[in-house]
Amino acid sequence: MPVQSQVQKVGVVGCGLMGAGIAEVSARAGLDVVVAESSAATADAGRARLEKSLARAEAKGKVDSAAAVLERVRVVTDLGELADRELVVEAIVEDEDAKTELFRTLDKVVEDRSAILASNTSSIPIMKLGVVTERPEQVIGIHFFNPVPVLQLVELVPSLLTADETTARSRAFVEETLGKKAIDCQDRAGFVVNALLIPFVLSAIRMLESGFATAEDIDRGLVLGAAHPQGPLALADLIGLDTTKAVAESLYEEFKEPLYAAPPLLARMVDAGLLGRKTGRGFYTYS
Protein backbone atom coordinates (compact mmCIF):
# COMPACT_ATOMS: atom_id res chain seq x y z
CA MET A 1 0.00 0.00 0.00
CA PRO A 2 1.45 3.43 -0.94
CA VAL A 3 2.63 5.54 1.98
CA GLN A 4 0.82 8.86 2.41
CA SER A 5 3.16 11.73 3.25
CA GLN A 6 0.54 13.29 5.58
CA VAL A 7 2.66 16.45 5.60
CA GLN A 8 0.60 19.63 5.66
CA LYS A 9 2.91 21.99 7.56
CA VAL A 10 6.30 22.57 5.97
CA GLY A 11 9.20 24.60 7.30
CA VAL A 12 12.12 25.86 5.24
CA VAL A 13 15.28 27.38 6.72
CA GLY A 14 16.83 29.84 4.28
CA CYS A 15 15.09 31.85 1.59
CA GLY A 16 17.85 32.13 -1.00
CA LEU A 17 17.43 30.64 -4.46
CA MET A 18 16.99 27.08 -3.20
CA GLY A 19 14.99 27.82 -0.07
CA ALA A 20 12.62 30.13 -1.91
CA GLY A 21 12.14 27.49 -4.60
CA ILE A 22 11.35 24.78 -2.05
CA ALA A 23 8.91 27.11 -0.29
CA GLU A 24 7.26 27.97 -3.61
CA VAL A 25 6.68 24.40 -4.78
CA SER A 26 5.36 23.47 -1.33
CA ALA A 27 2.92 26.38 -1.30
CA ARG A 28 1.86 25.66 -4.88
CA ALA A 29 1.02 22.13 -3.69
CA GLY A 30 -1.40 23.65 -1.17
CA LEU A 31 0.75 23.26 1.94
CA ASP A 32 1.13 25.68 4.85
CA VAL A 33 4.72 26.98 4.66
CA VAL A 34 6.88 28.87 7.15
CA VAL A 35 10.27 30.07 5.93
CA ALA A 36 12.88 31.14 8.50
CA GLU A 37 15.58 33.64 7.63
CA SER A 38 18.42 35.07 9.71
CA SER A 39 17.45 38.77 9.59
CA ALA A 40 14.69 41.16 8.58
CA ALA A 41 16.69 42.21 5.52
CA THR A 42 17.18 38.66 4.23
CA ALA A 43 13.56 37.84 5.04
CA ASP A 44 12.41 40.82 2.94
CA ALA A 45 14.73 39.77 0.12
CA GLY A 46 13.40 36.22 0.29
CA ARG A 47 9.80 37.38 0.21
CA ALA A 48 10.58 39.55 -2.82
CA ARG A 49 12.23 36.57 -4.53
CA LEU A 50 9.09 34.49 -3.98
CA GLU A 51 6.83 37.26 -5.26
CA LYS A 52 8.90 37.70 -8.42
CA SER A 53 9.02 33.98 -9.17
CA LEU A 54 5.29 33.50 -8.61
CA ALA A 55 4.46 36.52 -10.75
CA ARG A 56 6.39 34.89 -13.60
CA ALA A 57 4.61 31.59 -12.99
CA GLU A 58 1.22 33.33 -13.09
CA ALA A 59 2.12 35.16 -16.32
CA LYS A 60 3.01 31.79 -17.89
CA GLY A 61 -0.19 30.18 -16.67
CA LYS A 62 1.63 27.87 -14.24
CA VAL A 63 -0.44 29.08 -11.28
CA ASP A 64 -3.93 30.58 -11.23
CA SER A 65 -3.16 33.18 -8.59
CA ALA A 66 0.27 34.18 -7.29
CA ALA A 67 -1.41 36.04 -4.44
CA ALA A 68 -3.27 32.92 -3.33
CA VAL A 69 -0.03 30.92 -3.21
CA LEU A 70 1.75 33.68 -1.28
CA GLU A 71 -1.00 33.62 1.34
CA ARG A 72 0.18 30.13 2.27
CA VAL A 73 3.74 31.34 3.01
CA ARG A 74 5.03 33.17 6.07
CA VAL A 75 8.62 34.45 6.11
CA VAL A 76 9.91 34.85 9.68
CA THR A 77 13.16 35.56 11.50
CA ASP A 78 12.57 33.31 14.54
CA LEU A 79 13.35 29.59 14.28
CA GLY A 80 10.85 29.08 17.08
CA GLU A 81 8.11 29.63 14.48
CA LEU A 82 8.97 26.16 13.14
CA ALA A 83 7.88 24.42 16.35
CA ASP A 84 4.68 22.92 14.86
CA ARG A 85 6.12 21.86 11.50
CA GLU A 86 5.78 18.26 10.27
CA LEU A 87 8.71 18.52 7.85
CA VAL A 88 11.54 21.04 7.90
CA VAL A 89 13.99 21.42 5.00
CA GLU A 90 17.32 23.11 5.70
CA ALA A 91 18.52 25.19 2.73
CA ILE A 92 21.30 27.38 4.13
CA VAL A 93 24.90 27.92 3.05
CA GLU A 94 26.81 24.78 2.03
CA ASP A 95 28.95 24.72 5.18
CA GLU A 96 29.14 21.68 7.43
CA ASP A 97 29.61 23.59 10.68
CA ALA A 98 26.67 25.89 9.95
CA LYS A 99 24.43 22.98 9.03
CA THR A 100 25.31 20.84 12.05
CA GLU A 101 24.68 23.78 14.39
CA LEU A 102 21.31 24.37 12.73
CA PHE A 103 20.30 20.72 13.12
CA ARG A 104 21.15 20.87 16.82
CA THR A 105 18.80 23.83 17.09
CA LEU A 106 16.03 22.26 14.99
CA ASP A 107 16.17 19.17 17.20
CA LYS A 108 15.28 21.38 20.16
CA VAL A 109 12.78 23.62 18.35
CA VAL A 110 10.60 21.18 16.36
CA GLU A 111 8.18 19.72 18.89
CA ASP A 112 6.74 16.82 16.88
CA ARG A 113 9.21 13.96 17.46
CA SER A 114 7.94 12.25 14.31
CA ALA A 115 8.67 15.32 12.17
CA ILE A 116 11.13 14.87 9.30
CA LEU A 117 14.27 17.00 9.53
CA ALA A 118 15.67 17.20 6.01
CA SER A 119 18.72 18.79 4.43
CA ASN A 120 18.97 20.17 0.92
CA THR A 121 22.75 19.80 1.05
CA SER A 122 24.50 19.17 -2.26
CA SER A 123 27.23 16.99 -0.83
CA ILE A 124 27.59 16.84 2.97
CA PRO A 125 26.97 13.32 4.34
CA ILE A 126 23.60 13.13 6.06
CA MET A 127 25.03 11.02 8.88
CA LYS A 128 27.04 14.05 10.05
CA LEU A 129 23.82 16.02 10.41
CA GLY A 130 21.76 13.23 11.95
CA VAL A 131 24.13 12.33 14.76
CA VAL A 132 24.09 15.84 16.27
CA THR A 133 20.36 15.37 16.96
CA GLU A 134 18.55 13.06 19.35
CA ARG A 135 16.45 11.72 16.46
CA PRO A 136 18.81 10.65 13.67
CA GLU A 137 16.14 8.22 12.44
CA GLN A 138 14.09 11.28 11.37
CA VAL A 139 16.96 12.97 9.49
CA ILE A 140 17.27 12.57 5.71
CA GLY A 141 18.63 14.34 2.68
CA ILE A 142 16.00 15.76 0.32
CA HIS A 143 18.11 17.40 -2.35
CA PHE A 144 16.29 19.60 -4.86
CA PHE A 145 17.83 21.10 -7.99
CA ASN A 146 17.92 24.72 -9.15
CA PRO A 147 15.56 26.14 -10.32
CA VAL A 148 13.33 24.14 -7.98
CA PRO A 149 9.98 25.08 -9.60
CA VAL A 150 11.27 23.85 -12.98
CA LEU A 151 13.52 20.82 -12.42
CA GLN A 152 11.74 17.58 -11.56
CA LEU A 153 14.55 15.63 -9.91
CA VAL A 154 14.96 15.21 -6.15
CA GLU A 155 17.65 13.02 -4.55
CA LEU A 156 16.55 11.11 -1.44
CA VAL A 157 19.51 10.38 0.82
CA PRO A 158 18.91 8.34 3.98
CA SER A 159 21.82 7.76 6.35
CA LEU A 160 22.55 4.43 8.00
CA LEU A 161 20.37 5.56 10.90
CA THR A 162 17.41 6.95 8.93
CA ALA A 163 14.23 4.98 9.54
CA ASP A 164 12.60 3.26 6.56
CA GLU A 165 9.37 5.06 7.44
CA THR A 166 11.14 8.44 7.18
CA THR A 167 12.40 7.56 3.71
CA ALA A 168 8.95 6.35 2.63
CA ARG A 169 7.23 9.47 3.95
CA SER A 170 9.83 11.68 2.26
CA ARG A 171 9.28 9.90 -1.05
CA ALA A 172 5.52 10.37 -0.73
CA PHE A 173 6.04 14.07 -0.01
CA VAL A 174 8.30 14.51 -3.04
CA GLU A 175 6.39 12.40 -5.54
CA GLU A 176 2.75 12.49 -4.45
CA THR A 177 2.49 15.92 -2.85
CA LEU A 178 4.97 17.92 -4.94
CA GLY A 179 4.66 15.85 -8.12
CA LYS A 180 8.42 15.49 -8.60
CA LYS A 181 10.58 12.43 -9.34
CA ALA A 182 12.88 10.96 -6.70
CA ILE A 183 15.98 8.82 -7.05
CA ASP A 184 17.63 6.89 -4.21
CA CYS A 185 21.19 7.79 -3.25
CA GLN A 186 23.68 6.32 -0.83
CA ASP A 187 24.91 8.67 1.89
CA ARG A 188 28.22 9.47 0.20
CA ALA A 189 29.53 12.94 -0.56
CA GLY A 190 28.03 14.29 -3.77
CA PHE A 191 25.28 11.63 -3.85
CA VAL A 192 24.57 10.72 -7.52
CA VAL A 193 24.30 13.90 -9.57
CA ASN A 194 27.09 16.00 -8.07
CA ALA A 195 29.48 13.05 -7.88
CA LEU A 196 29.19 12.94 -11.68
CA LEU A 197 28.64 16.62 -12.43
CA ILE A 198 31.28 18.39 -10.32
CA PRO A 199 34.33 16.60 -11.82
CA PHE A 200 32.97 17.54 -15.27
CA VAL A 201 32.62 21.21 -14.27
CA LEU A 202 36.07 21.24 -12.63
CA SER A 203 37.58 19.78 -15.80
CA ALA A 204 36.10 22.65 -17.81
CA ILE A 205 37.55 25.17 -15.33
CA ARG A 206 40.99 23.56 -15.63
CA MET A 207 40.69 23.73 -19.43
CA LEU A 208 39.97 27.46 -19.22
CA GLU A 209 42.69 28.01 -16.60
CA SER A 210 45.31 26.34 -18.80
CA GLY A 211 44.44 28.48 -21.82
CA PHE A 212 43.30 25.42 -23.77
CA ALA A 213 40.13 27.23 -24.92
CA THR A 214 37.99 30.24 -24.10
CA ALA A 215 34.97 30.02 -21.82
CA GLU A 216 32.69 30.70 -24.76
CA ASP A 217 34.23 27.95 -26.90
CA ILE A 218 34.22 25.40 -24.07
CA ASP A 219 30.54 25.99 -23.46
CA ARG A 220 29.65 26.22 -27.15
CA GLY A 221 31.40 22.91 -27.74
CA LEU A 222 29.25 21.09 -25.19
CA VAL A 223 26.02 22.78 -26.25
CA LEU A 224 26.46 22.25 -29.98
CA GLY A 225 28.58 19.09 -29.93
CA ALA A 226 27.01 17.13 -27.09
CA ALA A 227 23.47 18.59 -27.01
CA HIS A 228 23.87 19.93 -23.47
CA PRO A 229 21.29 22.64 -22.63
CA GLN A 230 24.12 24.86 -21.39
CA GLY A 231 27.88 24.64 -21.08
CA PRO A 232 29.71 23.63 -17.89
CA LEU A 233 31.02 27.11 -17.10
CA ALA A 234 27.60 28.73 -17.52
CA LEU A 235 26.24 25.94 -15.34
CA ALA A 236 28.84 26.68 -12.66
CA ASP A 237 27.72 30.31 -12.70
CA LEU A 238 24.12 29.16 -12.22
CA ILE A 239 25.02 26.79 -9.37
CA GLY A 240 27.21 29.45 -7.75
CA LEU A 241 30.99 29.21 -7.72
CA ASP A 242 31.04 29.16 -3.92
CA THR A 243 28.69 26.18 -3.91
CA THR A 244 30.69 24.48 -6.66
CA LYS A 245 33.86 24.91 -4.61
CA ALA A 246 32.18 23.69 -1.41
CA VAL A 247 30.88 20.55 -3.12
CA ALA A 248 34.29 19.89 -4.66
CA GLU A 249 35.96 20.20 -1.26
CA SER A 250 33.44 17.83 0.32
CA LEU A 251 34.03 15.27 -2.44
CA TYR A 252 37.80 15.59 -2.18
CA GLU A 253 37.72 15.25 1.61
CA GLU A 254 35.80 12.00 1.36
CA PHE A 255 37.45 10.35 -1.65
CA LYS A 256 40.89 12.04 -1.97
CA GLU A 257 40.68 11.76 -5.77
CA PRO A 258 42.52 14.48 -7.77
CA LEU A 259 39.54 14.95 -10.09
CA TYR A 260 37.59 16.39 -7.14
CA ALA A 261 40.23 18.99 -6.17
CA ALA A 262 39.10 22.60 -6.74
CA PRO A 263 41.30 24.34 -9.37
CA PRO A 264 43.18 27.47 -8.20
CA LEU A 265 41.15 29.65 -10.58
CA LEU A 266 37.92 28.59 -8.89
CA ALA A 267 39.35 29.32 -5.44
CA ARG A 268 40.58 32.78 -6.53
CA MET A 269 37.21 33.69 -8.05
CA VAL A 270 35.40 32.70 -4.86
CA ASP A 271 37.88 34.73 -2.79
CA ALA A 272 37.17 37.70 -5.08
CA GLY A 273 33.42 37.36 -4.65
CA LEU A 274 32.88 36.44 -8.29
CA LEU A 275 30.27 33.80 -7.59
CA GLY A 276 28.30 33.71 -10.83
CA ARG A 277 24.74 34.81 -11.51
CA LYS A 278 23.94 35.69 -7.92
CA THR A 279 26.68 38.35 -7.81
CA GLY A 280 26.42 39.42 -11.44
CA ARG A 281 29.81 38.10 -12.46
CA GLY A 282 31.49 34.71 -12.68
CA PHE A 283 32.85 33.16 -15.84
CA TYR A 284 30.39 35.50 -17.56
CA THR A 285 28.96 38.91 -16.69
CA TYR A 286 25.25 39.27 -15.95
CA SER A 287 23.21 42.47 -15.94
- In the set 122, 123, 159, 170, the catalytic residue is 122
Query: DSSP of 187-252, one letter per residue?
Result: SSTTTTHHHHHHHHHHHHHHHHHTTSS-HHHHHHHHHHHH--SS-HHHHHHHH-HHHHHHHHHHHH
Q: Is 120 a catalytic residue?
A: no
Contact predicate 133/117, CB 8 Å: yes
- In the set 90, 94, 155, 249, the catalytic residue is 155
Q: Is 194 a catalytic residue?
A: yes
* C-alpha to C-alpha distance for 109 and 84, rounded to whole angstroms: 9
* C-alpha to C-alpha distance for 113 and 9, rounded to whole angstroms: 14
* CB neighbours of residue 256 within 10 Å: 9
Q: Is 228 a catalytic residue?
A: no
Compute the radius of gyration of the chain from its Cα atoms: 19
Contact predicate 88/105, CB 8 Å: no
Q: Is 122 a catalytic residue?
A: yes
Catalytic residues: 122, 143, 155, 194
